[in-house]
A and B are shown apart, each in its own frame.
With several copies, the nearest count.
Chain A
Amino acid sequence: SEDVGEYALRLGDDALILAQRLGHWISRAPELEEDVALGNIALDQLGHARSLLTYAGAAWGKTEDELAYFRREPEFRSAHLFEQPNGDFAVTIVRQFIVSYYQYELYRRLTASTDATVAAIAAKAVKEVDYHRDHSAQWVLRLALGTDESRSRLLAGLRLLWPYVGELFEDDALTARLGDAAVAPSSMRADFDRLTNEVLTEAEIDVPDVPSALGGGRRGQHSEHLGYILAEMQVLAREYPGASW
Chain B
Amino acid sequence: DAGQAYFDHVMAEDSRIEPRDWMPDAYRRTLVRQISQHAHSEIIGMQPEANWISRAPSLKRKAILMAKVQDEAGHGLYLYSAAETLGTSRDEMMGQLVAGKARYSSIFNYPTVTWADMGAIGWMVDGAAICNQVPLCRASYGPYGRAMVRVCKEESFHQRQGFEILLELANGNPAQKQMAQDAVNRWYAPSLMMFGPPDDDSPNSKQSMAWNIKRFSNDELRSRFVGMMAEQVRVLGLSLPDPEVRFNEDTKTWEHGPLDWEEFKQVLAGRGPCNAQRLERRRQAHDDGGWVREAATAYAAKMAAKNEAAA
Binding site for B on A (CB under 8 A): 16, 19-20, 23-24, 26-36, 39-40, 42-43, 46-47, 49-50, 53, 64-65, 68-69, 73-74, 80, 88-89, 141-143, 145-147, 149-150, 153, 159-160, 163, 210-216, 221-224, 227, 231-233, 235-237, 240, 243-245
Least CB separation from B117: chain A residue: A224
Residue B54 CB within 8 A of the other chain: yes
Contacts of A27 in B (CB 8 A): 46-47, 50, 69, 73, 281, 285
Closest B residue to A164 using CB positions: B276
State whether B47 touches A237 (Cβ < 8 A): no
B301: min CB distance to chain A, Å: 9
Give B residues with C-beta under 8 Å from A.
43, 46-48, 50-51, 53-63, 66-67, 69-70, 73-74, 76-77, 80, 111-115, 165, 168-169, 172-173, 175-176, 266-267, 269-277, 280-281, 284-285, 288-299, 302
Closest CB-CB distance, A2 to chain B, in whole Å? 22
Q: Which residues of A contact B277 (CB under 8 A)?
A: 223-224
What are the residues of chain B within 8 A of A153 when measuring CB–CB?
291
A232, chain B: closest CB distance, angstroms: 5
> With A89-B292, A216-B273, A224-B277 known to touch, is A233 a contact of B55 (CB < 8 Å)?
yes
Complex Cα spacing A146 to B114, Å: 42
- Identify which of B67, B275, B294 contacts A146 (C-beta below 8 A): B294
Residues in A neighbouring B169, C-beta threshold 8 A: 245
Chain B at the A interface: SS class: helix
Q: Are A224 and B59 in contact (CB under 8 A)?
A: no
Q: Do residues B271 and A30 form an inter-chain contact, with CB atoms below 8 A?
A: no
Bound form: Cα–Cα A47–B47 in Å: 23
Contact of A222 among B56, B66, B113 (CB under 8 A): B113
In angstroms, Cα B295 to Cα A147, docked, is 5
**B175 nearest in chain A by CB position:** A240
Residue pair B54, A24 in contact (C-beta under 8 Å) = yes
Say how far B35's CB is from chain A's closest CB, in angstroms.
15
| Inter-chain residue pair count (beta carbon < 8 A) | 191
Is there an interface contact between A245 and B113, defined as CB atoms closer than 8 Å? Answer: no
Q: Evaluate contact between A30 and B273: CB separation under 8 angstroms.
A: no
Contact B296 A142 (CB under 8 A): yes
Q: Min CB distance, A208 to chain B, in Å? A: 11
CA distance A108 to B114 in the complex (A): 37
Asked if B175 and A39 sit within 8 Å, CB to CB, the answer is no
Are the CB atoms of A145 and B55 closer together than 8 Å? no
Cα–Cα distance between A152 and B205 once the two chains are bound (Å): 41
B172 cross-chain contacts in A, Cβ below 8 A: 243-245
Asked whether, in the complex, the Cβ of A236 is within 8 Å of the Cβ of B66, the reply is no
Q: Do A150 and B292 have beta carbons less than 8 Å apart?
A: yes
> Bound complex: CA of A25 vs CA of B114, how far in Å?
21
- Does B271 lie within 8 Å of A213, measured CB to CB? yes
Min distance, Cβ A241 to any Cβ of chain B, angstroms: 10
- Give Cα distance in the complex from A50 to B284, angstroms: 32
Can you sample 15 A-B contacts with CB below 8 Å? A26-B50, A27-B69, A28-B288, A30-B289, A31-B296, A69-B58, A89-B292, A145-B302, A159-B276, A211-B270, A214-B272, A224-B48, A227-B113, A236-B115, A245-B165
What residues on B are CB-neighbors of A49 within 8 Å? Answer: 59
